[in-house]
Chain A
Amino acid sequence: MTTLDARPVDKFDDNDQKPIGHGRMLRKEDPRFIRGLGKYCDDIQLPGMLHLAILRSPVAHARIVSVDVTAAQAHPKVKAVITGADLAEKGLAWMPTLSNDVQAVLATDKVRFQGQEVAFVVAEDRYAARDALELIDVDYDILAPVIDARTALSADAAVIRDDLEGKTDNHCFDWETGDEAATEAVFAKADVVVKQDIVYPRVHPAPMETCGCVADYERVDGKLTLWTTSQAPHAHRTVYALVSGLPEHKIRVIAPDLGGGFGNKVPIYPGYVCAIVASLVLGKPVKWMEDRSENLVSTGFARDYIMQGEIAATKDGKILAIRTNVLADHGAFNGTAAPVKYPAGFFGVFTGSYDLEAAYCKMTAVYTNKAPGGVAYACSFRITEAVYLVERIVDCLAYELEMDPAELRLKNFIRPEQFPYKSKTGWVYDSGDYATTMRLSMKMAGYDELRREQAEKRARGELMGIGVAFFTEAVGAGPRKDMDILGLGMADGCELRVHPTGKAVVRLSVKTQGQGHETTFAQIVAEEIGIPPADIEVVHGDTDNTPFGLGTYGSRSTPVSGAAAALVARKVRDKARIIASGMLEVSVADLEWTKGSFHVKGDPTSAVTIQDIAMRAHGAGDLPDGIEGGLEAQICYNPENLTYPYGAYICVVDIDPGTAEVKVRRFIAVDDCGTRINPMIIEGQVHGGLTDGVGMALMEMIAFDEEGNCLGGSLMDYLIPTALEVPDWETGFTVTPSPHHPIGAKGIGESATVGSPPAVVNAIVDALKPYGIRHADMPLTPSRVWDAMQGHPTPPV
């Protein structure tokens, strides 16, 4: 019989892709998942647990006239029915969002989007809770909704946020970056200026596990335990302390196994607060688990940027400047989870991978009667939108100049010797060799051959397109002085304890949602301290048992927490060195480290292993003067800069001229994420992101009708790629380490989601060249491609 321990986990040790230490190691978390023994939120059942269900608004904008809960309260299995008015009495009707706005936990005055939380029921089982929702009678006075962001600021638009003191319009914020005058000067002298309206439609991360929690308040010791779908358990705990008034040490947030996150599980949703309130009121554990349609209509959406791009260049294709005007739709409450000083996230990197003379962006954000959110879906804080803008507009320029899009990019890349490179919007790119990566992708694709094939097919009237995109990401937020969420600096703690027998436990502030932290963090520590990964337990997702830190989103785990893990291991190793010097009776300077042991310089036989040292550190023998027993350390890592992973993507599509159906035939992705920890996991992260990108380019969109009804409220309407819509991915890599990260690693989790949508759209537009088309907006469904072929590409609504 196969047992967990019988299978050597690092049998791929000598893989040719060998990056750090244990390379393509199989995942430590898999044995439980493949047996169906993962523990997700909805798997938790506590004695006496009650079930919570939320009544949601059927309309987008309305005044609440009355809420009658009598019939629901009379239901035999119902324990409580709570409305906004009840919460208002406790001062809990509103909560802060992660971007310093407020959001209704339950609506009191008005509902502001379809699906907004109006009341909740707690009952003995989940079906009874749903039944009782039907018994609540709400009288709405319907108001005109504001759905299209383009009209949100018009004089006759209804004011959505009249809860805010003195608010007379739907303006959310203004933001700008770059130098307006300098950019104008460059545009004025340029040979060529190309303008293009580009929409990045609203999409949804839709992890396969929806959001939910189990709240358990123990009255006797006043302690609240919350099992919750959270990518950021520590940040959530602090917010709950601030909202509920419970002391922070009496709140324990546990994020159990998460069935995907993609940013959807960063915000704090009203349902979590409702479950906490219910448990406080009833003194019983309370479970709230949303269904799929609740997830799609009410939780953090992504994108929804209406952009005007402009690019200036010389006639031989030297790009001089880019500027853009953006209208950002933030929904009914600004629920964006970006660092506070970055209301537009990291959109400022819209200058892309190119060496420009000037750049400028002006953005206006508005409120609309749509679900709140803004940053979610593997976007690296709006870099998705930025990369889409620049990679589309560069292709528009290539179209106008009749230049090959790969050649145009190669001509304009930031050159290797320019790093660290400060962009015209102030971002300091850490390292890169873009042309090498671009050329590798072209070689893998057989680029010239593809162009030849395309020419032949065009001559025969067939529609084949080749899309090129190159992206640079900026991931791993902070440093803390620049970046915080609600005042919490973006840094991450890490603690490492080596037990007497030389096994270890490492505790992280970040939380996996499928990225494989239990494996990769063991690998990082193993590399630094020489204990095999199988002997290192990774603990995460439990605020009582891990050091404080801001969590996993924006691809920040490896850049920030991964650095913390490497450095805490080095700190332990430094102490081990001192203990070893005592054991070997030589000075510290005479010791040499080879992975896993110290030996006396010039005498490899005179050595002690890390396991020997661990036993000595905890044992009865003498330790060097001033050295305490134990072998453990804790640090808090404050990154000095973001890391800048990048990649070159090439997509090949065929379009059926009769049905306008797009087939993604090939997709070549070459990524550079610096030092690679586990190539197998990196490849998986890239594959997943590419699938997201194909989804957004071809089918995913959260649309609304004029009344504000969400048209993407189920997986029948919100389309996600299946195995039949995506090709067998072709991946490659280059390695350009980050100079400031302790092991040279950069983030990888979102690279492909960021980089792939422009590659797919560029391929489709390229295929449609015979129709004289320069741009068409996502999602490029057959009907929208057909419209484009008829000469009227339509922006999505």
Chain B
Amino acid sequence: MQVTMTVNGEEVAAEIEGRTLLVHFLRDQLRLTGTHWGCDTSNCGTCVVWMDDEPVKSCTVLAAMAGGHEVRTVEGLETEDGLDPVQEGFMQCHGLQCGFCTPGMMMTARALLDRNPDPGEQEIREAISGQICRCTGYATIVRSVRWAATHPNGVDQNQPEAEPADLEVPDPATEAVPERAGSIT
């Protein structure tokens, strides 16, 4: 069957099998491989994209159902104005390790910030609770989203970014125990 949709602002038309999942359509046919596929039961959220401004799990949407809708993927986060602050936040706060869950996490985070520009820790945790990250332990993802919330314009290129003091958990260890590493040559 024929399907037509808008993906990251561009109209695409393609011939698909009726059963094609949106995740496979995006990945295999459009070669937008930033959206990932991590489970068979709609539990992992590595496949999250937007359909008309709403985050959806693209493994649970038929490509045919996206026909006539606007789809946005991680590849659409960066614009001519630069990186989305969410992307910048994930780099600044080590919100990713292997990067496999990251596109889905960032899409959800962007949707959250669009609705609530100043979410608290618990709101962020709830927003991403349908998604799994096996690497980061989530705290740095929470910090990344907070970074984006407090930097709506991203990094100011003229002002070197200082350590985001309000986001870093102060490390009591630094005061409590002198480093005994000695000198390393």
Contact = CB atoms under 8 A, between A and B. Distances in A.
Interface of A: 1-2, 6-8, 11-12, 15-17, 19-20, 26-27, 29-40, 42-43, 45, 126-127, 206-210, 257-262, 291-293, 436, 440, 443-444, 513-516, 527, 593, 670, 674-676, 680-681, 683-684, 686-692, 714-716, 720, 722-724, 726, 728-737, 743-744
Given A42-B33, A259-B99, 11 more contacts: A16-B174, A34-B99, A208-B101, A292-B44, A514-B97, A686-B137, A687-B139, A715-B43, A722-B128, A728-B142, A729-B137
A19 B38 CA distance: 36
Contacts of B126: 723-724
A736 B94 contact: no
A384 B103 CA distance: 31
25 contacts: A1-B80, A1-B81, A2-B157, A26-B91, A29-B99, A30-B96, A34-B91, A34-B99, A36-B33, A36-B103, A42-B33, A43-B33, A126-B28, A127-B19, A208-B134, A443-B176, A516-B97, A680-B94, A688-B97, A714-B40, A715-B39, A734-B177, A735-B180, A736-B180, A737-B180
B142 A723 contact: yes
By Cβ-Cβ distance, the 4 closest A-B pairs, closest first, are A36-B34, A514-B98, A259-B100, A687-B137
B184 A34 contact: no
Contacts of A127: 17, 19-20
Contact of A208 (B46, B157, B172): B46
Interface stretch (B50-58, B60-68, B71-79, B111-119): B71-79
Contacts of B142: 723, 728
B155 interface: yes
Given A208-B38, A210-B38, A11 B160 contact: yes
B121 interface: yes
A651 to B, nearest CB: 14
A15 B179 CA distance: 14
Contacts of A42: 27, 33, 37
Contact of A743 (B17, B96, B184): B184
Contacts of B44: 208, 292, 715
A197 B185 CA distance: 49
B137 A690 contact: yes
B34 A293 contact: no
A326 B128 CA distance: 40
Contacts, number: 242
A35 B87 contact: yes
Tell me the dominant secondary structure on chain A's binding face.
loop
Interface of B: 17, 19-20, 24, 27-28, 31-41, 43-44, 46, 73-75, 77-78, 80-83, 87-88, 90-92, 94, 96-103, 106, 121, 124-126, 128-142, 154-155, 157, 160-161, 163, 169, 171-174, 176-177, 179-182, 184-185
A56 B169 CA distance: 48
Nearest to B17: A127
Contacts of A737: 180-182
A7 B17 CA distance: 44
Contacts of B73: 36
Contact of B98 (A1, A39, A208, A732): A208
Nearest to A260: B98
B141 A723 contact: yes
A209 B38 contact: yes
Contact of A259 (B36, B136, B137, B182): B36
Given A260-B135, A735-B179, A291 B40 contact: yes
Given A514-B97, A728-B142, A26 B92 contact: yes
Given A1-B81, A737-B182, A262 B134 contact: yes
A707 B116 CA distance: 50
A593 B185 CA distance: 9
The interface centre, meaning the residue of B74, B134, B139, B185 with most chain A CB atoms within 10 A of its CB, is B134
B88 to A, nearest CB: 7
